[in-house]
């Protein structure tokens, strides 16, 4: 028999479950409304960038962490290859190209565009920053759409990041949600609109990377299709790990294991979303017939990365998840940023000291594989790197009392020599 209390609880349980599911649904489907990024209370409509947007582009900085926004990895949707909207004929013939679409090139470098009026000040500046990269280094020119322009790009304030592939002959959309508002992601989507697709789809891919299909989600394996040489136009540009169109090492991973494993050196910044690489610029210039432009050297991606880390410095130097503890590749951009402790990118002033000079920590850095020649290691490993001051080191021997453990002391080690002063004769007792 149920007590009256039990009967009441049983009556309330379905209501509580319904309330919980309602909360979960609301949280999973809710849209952000951050006016400086996207103000969805404004009715949809077209506008254009202004001179003020391009001026703001030089110093815009969005703190996604404080806004509670996780920047997109461009592989978290069901679209083709994560962020591509295919035309019907492309779906049927799977005509997508890895370098550029032979049939998707715009007729001229003049690209008419419109912009959603819902984009706020900072979002407009980010989009302007991406456009400036193309106009600074290629002959591509984004112009305000005229009434006579039947085919144009409409930059839409969507929920995720995606683009049509190549010139469609009518309005085609680049969708940018809040999670997409970085200069690198906007550049990536514009490259798709210009007819460029992901680097690792090239026919020569297998000479540069190995795809670990065992780690790829079953429903995403088609995203790693390899196209044959008769279906692509490589434009005479070699494969590049640094291309802004290259996947990161764990794209479409089902368990955070690497899905793309580089076979050669130079893949430290594979998956970068900072700016156009030298190979990206070369391909755009060749496809669109750009002439008499200054040489474009490979950007200093390490410097760009460090500048980004300074702007988005972790507040607490902790790994993002347990993945970092056993299967991290610090040469991969995502791992380097996601696993700050393991990859030792922490700001020393915010990083907990691994060792303590007072002997209260049993963890020894050298046994952990650290090297004192590495940047900042001496700050977090003072015991192993000989940076402890004599007054910080506990002295376990006195002149009148030797200590048994000191019989095995390594007197060539500064720390042990101070600890075991009598045995190592660093303690003046005579």
Indicate the annotated binding residues for Zn(2+): 188, 192, 198
| Cα separation, 94 vs 88, whole angstroms | 9
Q: Where are the alpha helices (DSSP H) in 164-248?
A: 183-193
CA distances, 401 to each of 265, 389, 411 (Å): 57, 23, 18
Candidates 178, 114, 184, 139; CA nearest to 292 is 139
> Is 44 an annotated catalytic residue?
no
Q: Which of 133, 189, 199, 416 is catalytic?
A: 189
Candidates 107, 99, 116; CA nearest to 154 is 116
CA 186: distance to chain centroid? Answer: 13
| Cα separation, 324 vs 77, whole angstroms | 24
Candidates 370, 356, 374; CA nearest to 415 is 356
Cβ-contact 232, 98 below 8 angstroms: yes
Cβ-contact 111, 151 below 8 angstroms: no
- Binding site as annotated, residues: 188, 192, 198
H/E stretch holding 143 reads strand 141-144
| Cα separation, 359 vs 154, whole angstroms | 63
Candidates 229, 252, 213, 235; CA nearest to 80 is 252
Q: Which residues are catalytic?
A: 189
């Amino acid at each position: 028999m149920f007590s009256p209390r039990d009967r009441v609880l049983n009556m309330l349980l379905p209501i509580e479950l319904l309330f919980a599911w309602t909360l979960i649904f609301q949280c999973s489907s809710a849209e952000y409304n951050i006016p400086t990024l996207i103000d969805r209370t404004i009715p949809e409509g077209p506008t254009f960038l202004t001179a003020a947007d391009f001026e703001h582009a030089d110093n815009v900085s969005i703190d996604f962490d404080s806004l509670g926004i996780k920047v997109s990895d461009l592989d978290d949707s069901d679209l083709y290859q994560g962020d591509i909207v295919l035309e019907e004929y492309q779906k049927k013939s799977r005509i997508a190209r890895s370098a550029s679409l032979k049939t998707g090139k715009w007729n001229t470098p003049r690209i008419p565009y419109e912009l959603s009026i819902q984009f706020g000040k900072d979002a407009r500046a980010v989009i302007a920053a991406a456009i400036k990269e193309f106009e600074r280094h290629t002959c591509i020119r984004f112009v305000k759409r005229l009434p006579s322009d039947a085919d144009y790009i409409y930059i839409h304030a969507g929920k995720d990041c995606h683009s049509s592939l190549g010139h469609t002959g009518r309005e085609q959309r680049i969708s940018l949600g809040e999670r997409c508002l970085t200069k690198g992601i906007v550049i990536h989507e514009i490259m798709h609109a210009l007819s460029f697709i992901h680097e690792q789809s090239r026919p020569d891919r297998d000479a540069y990377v190995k795809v670990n299909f065992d780690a790829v989600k079953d429903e995403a394996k088609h995203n790693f299709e390899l196209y044959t040489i008769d279906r692509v136009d490589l434009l005479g540009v070699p494969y590049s790990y640094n291309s802004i169109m290259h996947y990161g090492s764990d794209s479409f991973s089902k368990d955070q294991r690497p899905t793309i494993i580089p076979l050669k050196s130079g893949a430290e910044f594979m998956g970068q979303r900072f700016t156009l690489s030298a190979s990206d610029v070369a391909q755009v210039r060749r496809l669109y017939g750009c002439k008499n432009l200054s040489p474009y050297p490979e950007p200093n991606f390490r410097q760009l990365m460090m500048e980004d880390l300074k702007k988005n410095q972790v507040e607490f130097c902790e790994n993002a998840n347990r993945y970092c503890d056993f299967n991290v590749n610090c040469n991969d951009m995502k791992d380097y940023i996601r696993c700050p402790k393991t990859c030792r990118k922490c700001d020393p002033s915010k990083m907990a000291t691994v060792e303590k000079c007072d002997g209260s920590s049993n963890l020894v850095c050298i046994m952990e594989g650290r090297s004192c020649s590495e940047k900042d290691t001496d700050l977090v490993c003072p015991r192993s790197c000989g940076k402890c001051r004599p007054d910080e080191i506990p002295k376990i021997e006195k002149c009148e009392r030797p200590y048994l453990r000191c019989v095995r002391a390594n007197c060539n080690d500064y720390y042990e020599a101070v600890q075991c002063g009598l045995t190592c004769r660093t303690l003046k007792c005579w």
